[in-house]
Chain A
Amino acid sequence: MGLLWLIFFFYFFVFFYFFLVFFFVSCFFGGGYLLDFFLFSLGGLDFSFSFLFDYVSLGFFSCVSFISGLVFLYSVFYMEGTVDSRRFIWLVFGFVFSMFLLVFSGNFFLVMVGWDGLGLTSFCLVIFYSNHSSLESGLVTVFSNRVGDVFFLICFFFFFMGGSFFFDWGALLSRVGFFIFLFLGAITKRAQLPFSAWLPAAMAAPTPVSSLVHSSTLVTAGVYVLIRFSFIFLFFDLIVFKVFFLLTMVVAGASANLEKDFKKVVAMSTLSQLGMMLFILSVGVWALSFLHIVIHAFFKRMLFLSTGSLIRHLGGGQDSRFYGSRVFSWRASLFFLVSCVCLSGFPFYIGFYSKDFIILGRSLGRGLFFYFSFLGGCLLTVFYSFRLFRLGYSSFFKGYRHLFYAETLNFLFPTSLLFFKG
């Protein structure tokens, strides 16, 4: 029964993916579409929900739907034997749906719908294993997301002063206050430095969810909103934010090199990648940042899937001091190795193309401090990605193994699809 639902969701999302790619091509040549659902008007202002279909949103959501379809299939592999697997599936579905609303949002109300939906469903998913530690990390997650929500709600005031809730009117406003609140809201969801505590804490979620959160949905939601408002960075070229992003990148890379919890290392790697993307965005090239989001989604997803299989293989523990599985299957280790290599930007893998562009073009000409700290962040990326591989797959398992399992097709199929993407 549950399996049937899963297959249904999987095919739903994959068909959706192809549909979106088709639509994407047509929008790329023909512009975009804006659908506006009028609700009511109050105080001389129209309150409406509007959907925006252009090549940015379609391209991004085709990536998201592809990945989330694979997540549904993978969660058969990962969640089998769990009590509430049906609740889990519906929560993941709600999560992807609110991501859909966020990506296709044309005005700020729909952004808030997707934004709050993402926060609440991620909270439900983090506390899915209902024990004390997951409750703690879930509360950290949802409270910091709520802080971001309040910042976004305050943005409504500036929209109201501007006269409309559509995106483009933000340019007419171009107030410092609007910029600061939008920005603070986005970086709470993006888990940048002052608000970065929740991202490693959210690792208490089941692995399919944390992969979905990290690769394509929750953390990239913040950058997606900032990409939509990327014209704002042209008005406010503040150096403080760039320093924050670079600091996030370097600090997260350094702590990924020292962390013991295996899944938290992966989370820290996501954090440093996010810092990099936002740095590119703040420099002013949103297209490169967008490219890196999509590519990063694919290989980070693969990294998480193989991490999940490793965790499953080693009996559910996440302490990397006991890790090591040289005798574990060659396929999982191959997938893991390829995604690590992509993460570090090895030539001719998919991570190379975006990262190389970024390193070449964007860090020069902004001062030596930015250049060297950016390169240092990238170097730390290489270090921790190979540390991950050494931790996971280099030696024999040091703990007591009480669980044997075989890789099923439900694991192999999604991961190998992503492998060929890489």
Chain B
Amino acid sequence: MYGVHLWLPKAHVEAPVSGSIVLAGVLLKLGVYGLLRFRPFILFFLREIKGLMVSLGLRGGLYRCFLCLRQSDLKSFVAYSSVCHMGFGLGGLYRGLYVGYGGRIFIMISHGFCSSCLFYILYVLYERFFTRRGLLMKGVGYIFPMILLVWFVFSALNMGVPPSLSFFSEVSILVGVTGMTLYTFIFSGLLLLFSGFYGIFFYVVSCHRTRMLGGWNFFVGPREFLLFYGHFYFVIFLVFSLDFFFL
């Protein structure tokens, strides 16, 4: 959550890949799970805390978006983007509508798969190039065309491109949040706008331009692609079974 999020990029940057995948995919979701469990209490105190929490989520998410555009370390980039998503979901939850609640669950799941796969891609590249700087990794796409594809797909999923779970989560949170005041209307729109911007930026900063860096072991094997596909499958095809969460 914005304000007490400062440990997250530091922990991600220092953690090994499995640590950061678990951190993004599981640990962040534990807090959200707690909030979902305590939803009756939240609804009880909703009138007092609604304005504070929604504005904290939306505005904090927006400021993290701005910060994302200035990151050079791609791993802390992904970490800040997850703070931004969590903030958006927080706004959806504290709005108190059922749609926002559902969107909070969706964004939890989709973001768990998306960001953990982004961390894994960064790990695969780190294995080859020994760096995570966006400036140094320019032109990765010309060495690994398939990484280019996977990278593009996942940065697009991270910004919420339609036939995926993240799109539905964004829509349902947006629907829940926007009706509150004009303030939330503007800020959630800006948040979505800038999350799109940094998704594009994330792709461009590393995959565009000609190659700058040499490395060794240019082989990307089936192990990597199985992992990519495993993440991709859940983000795309879980859409068809979302009724499962609302039985």
Are the C-beta atoms of A39 and B240 separated by less than 8 Å? yes
B156: chain A residues at CB < 8 Å are 120
> Which residue of the partner chain, among A143, A147, A153, A161, contacts B170 with CB atoms under 8 Å?
A153
Please name the residue on chain A nearest to B199 by beta carbon.
A146
A43: chain B residues at CB < 8 Å are 97-99, 102, 172, 175
CA distance A40 to B99 in the complex (A): 12
Please name the residue on chain A nearest to B196 by beta carbon.
A146
For chain A, which range describes its interface: under 10, 10 to 19, 20 to 34, or 35 or more residues?
35 or more
CA distance A18 to B156 in the complex (A): 34
| Known contacts A130-B208, A135-B208, A146-B200; is-contact A40 B242 (Cβ 8 Å) | yes
CA distance A47 to B209 in the complex (A): 40
Q: Which segment of A61-69, A109-117, A413-421 sits at the interface?
A: A109-117
CA distance A115 to B189 in the complex (A): 17
Are the C-beta atoms of B209 and A130 separated by less than 8 Å? yes
B18 at the binding interface (Cβ < 8 Å): no
Are the C-beta atoms of B196 and A149 separated by less than 8 Å? yes
> Which residue of the partner chain, among A130, A132, A143, A153, contacts B200 with CB atoms under 8 Å?
A143
B179 at the binding interface (Cβ < 8 Å): yes
How many chain B residues touch A (CB < 8 A): the figure is 38
A391: chain B residues at CB < 8 Å are none
Please name the residue on chain A nearest to B168 by beta carbon.
A47
Are the C-beta atoms of A41 and B243 separated by less than 8 Å? yes
Are the C-beta atoms of B161 and A153 separated by less than 8 Å? no
> Binary interface profile of B, 160-200, with partner A (CB < 8 Å = 1, else 0)?
01110001101110110011000001000100110011001
A123 at the binding interface (Cβ < 8 Å): yes
CA distance A153 to B189 in the complex (A): 8
A240: chain B residues at CB < 8 Å are none
Are the C-beta atoms of A153 and B171 separated by less than 8 Å? yes
A84: chain B residues at CB < 8 Å are 145
> Which residue of the partner chain, among B102, B152, B175, B192, contacts A150 with CB atoms under 8 Å?
B192
CA distance A41 to B243 in the complex (A): 7
> Binary interface profile of A, 150-162, with partner B (CB < 8 Å = 1, else 0)?
1001101100110
CA distance A40 to B98 in the complex (A): 14
Distance to closest chain B CB from A47 (angstroms): 7
A87 at the binding interface (Cβ < 8 Å): yes
Interface secondary structure of A, over-half rule: helix
CA distance A129 to B197 in the complex (A): 21
| Known contacts A42-B172, A47-B168, A157-B175; is-contact A150 B208 (Cβ 8 Å) | no
> Which residue of the partner chain, among A123, A124, A143, contacts B197 with CB atoms under 8 Å?
A143
Are the C-beta atoms of B174 and A153 separated by less than 8 Å? yes
B97: chain A residues at CB < 8 Å are 43
| Known contacts A47-B168, A156-B174; is-contact A39 B197 (Cβ 8 Å) | no
Are the C-beta atoms of A157 and B239 separated by less than 8 Å? no
B167: chain A residues at CB < 8 Å are 112, 116
| Known contacts A113-B163, A124-B152; is-contact A42 B102 (Cβ 8 Å) | yes
| Known contacts A130-B208, A142-B200, A156-B171; is-contact A42 B98 (Cβ 8 Å) | yes
CA distance A199 to B66 in the complex (A): 26
7 closest cross-chain pairs (CB), A and B: A43-B99, A40-B242, A113-B162, A146-B196, A160-B175, A40-B243, A157-B178
Given contacts A113-B162, A154-B174, 17 further A-B contacts (CB under 8 A): A39-B242, A40-B239, A42-B102, A43-B175, A130-B142, A130-B210, A131-B209, A143-B200, A146-B193, A149-B196, A150-B196, A153-B170, A153-B174, A154-B178, A154-B185, A156-B174, A157-B179
